[in-house]
Structure 1
Amino acid sequence: MSQDLRILQAARLKGRPTESDLIAAVGPADGAAAVQTLVAAGELDRVGARIELTAAGRSRLDTLLAAERATVDQERLRQHYLEFGAVNTEFKQLVTDWQLIDGEQPNDHTDPEYDARVVARLAALHERFAPLLEAFTGLVPRLETYPGRLTAALARVRSGDPAWFARPLIDSYHTVWFELHEELIGLAGLSRVAEAAAGRAE
């Protein structure tokens, strides 16, 4: 059941991922077989080379998420989520600085010294965030793939590939961070609309 939840949620968060992207996000060794079982059950659908969540899958996902949320210590989760807010604000500024120099000029990544400074800040944030992320995974074991996914994205950025900082449609640092934030919003029983209105949505 936990594996079904991982896969259905990843399909929701990613929109229409390829099967390999979906399996990479959830991490189960027998992910291909699990995806096929959900397709056969009518909860996932194959659209060309991509996978999408069906109405039946979304309904079951809502049920599974509600059951999971009922097992989570909400007081501790809300406390940690408040701590996450400060880190998230810092991360949003990092993304802005990565995309725009001085908040105005698009960053074409031809200045290696500028990029290196931003990447160093990202690495420092990543290290400082690790204990809080560990606290989240302790509360919700299903989130255990996020530390590795963030670390993998950071490693690609540090190796010199700027795409892995904030490019959409791949497991860039920004993509994984966004999905984690979406998970936390749902687990806390909040909504992205309300969080955006409060200035906390990434």
Structure 2
Amino acid sequence: MESELIDLGAGGHVTHTPGEFGGWGLTATGRALDAERITDELENAGARTAVTEAYHRFLALNPELLDLCAAWQTRSAHGVLTANDHTDPGYDARILERLSDLDNRAQVVCAQLSAAVGRFGRYGPRLADALVRARSGALEYVATSTSSYHTVWFQLHEDLLATLGIPRF
């Protein structure tokens, strides 16, 4: 993997930023190449319709996930919105139960995406893993960790947008 990134860097498709928050990122040339490859993949698989339909099902779930993350991170105390300090296990359990329900429906969408285009197969297991970790007490796996449910959800959303050629804004 690293050698592929170095080759892509030599070709001007990616850059590497060092440091704690650094990493590899696409250049404008890399984004154009990626868009071309994604379009070819989608067309060669004959999967545009299936991915578009799954994307719309994903969009129907997205507001619920955003609401759950907001409820996870904040609480109303005496009519005032405050940060959720996670000292009320009952409250957190209710949010996790709702997230589990959402995940059941999200897994169906992930399976449909994976059946259409194999590279989408990584999202369902990553979402499920984040949920299992959160339910076992690693609360950062809901919306804080770089492997959190929210982060993986965001990555899936970005991948869907890129795959279908939908601009972010």
Alpha-carbon distance between aligned partners in 1 of 2:164 and 2:12, rounded to the nearest angstrom: 29
Residue identity matched to 1:147:
G
Percent identical pairs in the alignment equals 35
1:41 alignment counterpart: 11
Q: 2:86 aligns with which of 109, 128, 131?
A: 109
2:153 is aligned with 1:177: yes
Residue identity matched to 2:34:
L
TM-score for both structures, normalised by structure 1:
0.70
2:50–2:112: 8 Å Cα contact kept in structure 1? no
Question: What per-residue deviation string (whole Å, max 9, x for no partner) do you get for residues 97-118 of structure 1?
Answer: 1112248222111211111111
2:51 is aligned with 1:77: yes
Alpha-carbon distance between aligned partners in 2 of 1:40 and 1:77, rounded to the nearest angstrom: 33
1:44 CA drift (Å): 2.3
2:133–2:141: 8 Å Cα contact kept in structure 1? yes
1:148 alignment counterpart: 125
- The alignment covers a number of residue pairs equal to 162
Residue identity matched to 1:68:
E
Alpha-carbon distance between aligned partners in 2 of 1:172 and 1:155, rounded to the nearest angstrom: 11
2:35–2:162: 8 Å Cα contact kept in structure 1? no
Unmatched runs of 5 consecutive residues or more in structure 2: none
Q: Which moved more, 1:138-147 or 1:59-68?
A: 59-68
| RMSD between superposed Cα atoms in Å | 2.1
Helix, strand or coil for the counterpart of 1:51? Answer: strand
TM-score for both structures, normalised by structure 2:
0.82
Residue identity matched to 1:38:
L
Question: What per-residue deviation string (whole Å, max 9, x for no partner) do you get for residues 117-141 of structure 1?
Answer: 1112112221232122100111111
Residue identity matched to 1:113:
G
2:110–2:121: 8 Å Cα contact kept in structure 1? no
| Structure with max Cα Rg | 2
Runs of 4 or more consecutive aligned structure 1 residues displaced over 4 Å after TM superposition? none
Alpha-carbon distance between aligned partners in 1 of 2:127 and 2:109, rounded to the nearest angstrom: 13
2:37 alignment counterpart: 64
Alpha-carbon distance between aligned partners in 2 of 1:90 and 1:56, rounded to the nearest angstrom: 35
Question: What per-residue deviation string (whole Å, max 9, x for no partner) do you get for residues 139-178 of structure 1?
Answer: 111111111211221122112122211126x121101101
Unmatched runs of 5 consecutive residues or more in structure 1: 1-30, 194-202
